[in-house]
Amino acid sequence: MRTFNEEEFNRLNERIDQLLSSQEIQQRSQALIHIFLTHRFYCEKVTIDEVWTDGGNDCGIDAIHIDRRGDEPVIHLLQSKVFDSTRKASNPFPFSSAEKTLRFFEILKDRRCDLKKVVNPKLEQKILEIRDIIAREFPSFKLWLLGNGMPCSTIQIAPCIKSLEREDVQVEEFHLDEIVEFCLNTHSGRVNHVFYARDVGVLESGNSELRSVVGYVSGLELYKLLRDMRDERKIDYTLFNMNVRGFLGLDNPVNKEIFRTAVSGDNINFASLNNGITIVGSQCRVNRTGSDMPKIGIKRMSIVNGAQTCSAIFDAIKDYYPDTSKFEKLSVLFRVFETEDPDLISRIAVSTNNQSRINPRDLRANDDIQRRLERELRSYGISYRRKRGFQPEGLEESKQLDALKAGQILLSYVHHDPVKSKRESDVIFTDLYAKVFGGVDVAQLVEALSWYEIIEERRRIVQDDLRIRGQRRTENTFLTYGAFHVLMLCNLLGPGVAEQERGQIVDQAVKIISDHIIEAGNPAHYAFFRDAKQSEAMRTAAVEPKLL
């Protein structure tokens, strides 16, 4: 039976305090959703900024995240409770909160109802977006109950779960134990790792600059390699610190397919159907004596490709453990490269990552342009995060700038393309990389960042007003979706303007966008800001003002 852990409760509170002090979140109530989306779905902050729906008339839904990575969208409804005392946290999560979401599905299906009268503006925009998705695709729904305490009472929540299942909604819980384990814990810190390859042998090649070892490892041997030394039923996540892709969440379609293959009756063919894993280490040694199976020793080991394979196989064997007979014939191809060159590691990761979608920004994290930006931004007191989860040493208290946000800001402010900045951000690190980052003027980036911070502050004020007072001012409510459009207009309206006058320029930009939204018939914001023609019309209005 699960028990409340006060030490973990305090650890999580410390993490929440850090998020507040770094301004990653604005209210304590946002903390669990922010942590959850960051670690489970690898969401960037600009994505998280769009999910919030809490406030009056929110149907018990604090946020909605639409995950489009799979074959069909998954709509995640998030409900969060951040308890301020151990007394409250040690009680079961309030199941009555989940019941409120039934009203959401009634409203979603009733296209005749006036949304403005029954839901708040943020939830209204999400409903419009979801209705559009339903018209074109076959999304699935999940309701997540998040809390920094105990889970719901199984008996009490059972009727609500049945009601939601009739709406084809899956209910998941993610509370204190899961948050600490999945999002906060660092696992074992082994420096040296050893495993045995299959007895078919291994192939060694290369020179002093780059040695490689290729072979097959059994599923059980891989399972042993991946185990956390503190808790053998948990995976050692530190093995993937340098991985350019990560696990992509537990519900990734590729992970499910790998799992099914691993537990199938013909998993002897697994190695023929899977790309295997790629490992780098500062040293690699092969010992062929004493056993038919070569012994592989790796110092400072890191798996740079194959995290999904490792995760799926670990979960599969864990489910059957200690009876591992089902996996006796399962083998996984492995490649080990001996190098400490970060650029070479990056190239290896890029060339071997072809099994699933790769996050382009992480693949660029170690190139010369990104490293130069990191160095030059230090002189402005800005800590530049080249990749997700990366924190440069020595600048913990400085202003933070993420690489993706930098690219979005540059594409909007310098190149006047806010549509791609927000909706097609992957092209920033692929097709548009040379355009956006090549020869970037760091001083101009810093100037653009200062504009963006003013806009962000306006957006936060608007969100607070909507949440507390439910205000409905068109020129303000779109800021959640249209911040990069405002940034583009600020560059066109106020180049070189004094810092104290920038607020007035932002007001002008907001007015231009507000007028265009009204002229377009007040469409759904998510659709309006995807429209390149609207962006061009705003740009024209800024450079060619109407004559009186």
The confidence score (pLDDT) of residue 305 equals 84
Question: Is the pLDDT reported for residue 471 higher than 60?
Answer: no
Residue 191 pLDDT greater than 80, yes or no? no
Average pLDDT over residues 260-264: 90
Per-residue model confidence as pLDDT tens digits over 220-257: 999 999 988 767 777 887 787 544 444 444 455 567 78
pLDDT band for 352, please (50, 70, 90 cuts): low
DSSP string for residues in 360-424: HHHHTTTSHHHHHHHHHHHTTTEEEE-STT---TT-TTSEEEEHHHHHHHHHHHTT--HHHHHH-
Average pLDDT over the chain reads 85
- Rounded to an integer, what distance in angstroms lies between the CA atom of residue 236 and that of residue 301? 12
Strands 283-287 vs 302-305: parallel, antiparallel or unpaired: unpaired
Does residue 313 have a pLDDT over 60?
yes
* CB burial readout 437-447, b (16+ within 10 A) else e: beebebeebbb
pLDDT tens for each residue of 104-156: 999 999 999 999 999 999 999 999 999 999 998 999 999 999 999 999 998 98
Round to whole Å and give the CA distance between 525 and 380. 35
pLDDT for the residue 76: 96
Is the model's pLDDT at 265 over the cut of 80?
yes
State the pLDDT at residue 413.
96
pLDDT value at residue 97:
73
What confidence category does residue 398 fall into, taking pLDDT thresholds of 50, 70 and 90? Answer: low
For the chain, list the domains and their CATH numbers: 6-184 (3.40.91), 192-358 (no CATH), 368-543 (no CATH)
Dihedral, CA of residue 32, residue 34, residue 40 and residue 46, to nearest 10: 170
423 has pLDDT over 90: no
What's phi and psi for 81, nearest 5 deg? -130, 115
Mean pLDDT of the 83-110 span:
90
Q: Which residue has the higher pLDDT, 220 or 350?
A: 220
- Which whole number is the average pLDDT over 419-424? 84
Taken as a whole, the chain contains a residue count of 548
pLDDT in tens, 509-533: 999 999 999 999 888 888 899 899 9
Stretch 40-57: mean pLDDT, rounded?
86
Residue 454 has pLDDT above 70, yes or no: yes
Alpha-helical regions (H) of 197-306: 219-226, 253-263, 270-273
Instruction: Give strand ranges (E) for 49-191.
Output: 63-67, 74-81, 140-147, 169-174
Is residue 78's pLDDT more than 50? Answer: yes
Q: What sign does the CA torsion over 102, 168, 79, 49 have?
A: negative
Burial classification of residue 251, based on how many CB atoms lie within 10 Å of its CB (0-12 exposed, 13-18 middle, 19 or more buried): middle
CB–CB of 542/493 below 8 Å?
Answer: yes
Please check whether residue 401 is in contact with residue 383, taking contact to mean a CB–CB distance below 8 angstroms.
yes
Whether cis (ω within 30° of 0) applies to the bond prior to 322 is yes
Mean pLDDT over 168-190 rounds to 80
pLDDT band at 355, cuts 50/70/90? very low
Categorize the per-residue pLDDT at 327 as very low, low, confident or very high, splitting at 50, 70 and 90: very high
Sign of the CA dihedral with 417 first, then 421, 424, and 425 last:
positive
Which of 206-210, 381-385, 479-483 is the least confident region? 206-210
Residue 86 · residue 71 · CB < 8 Å: no
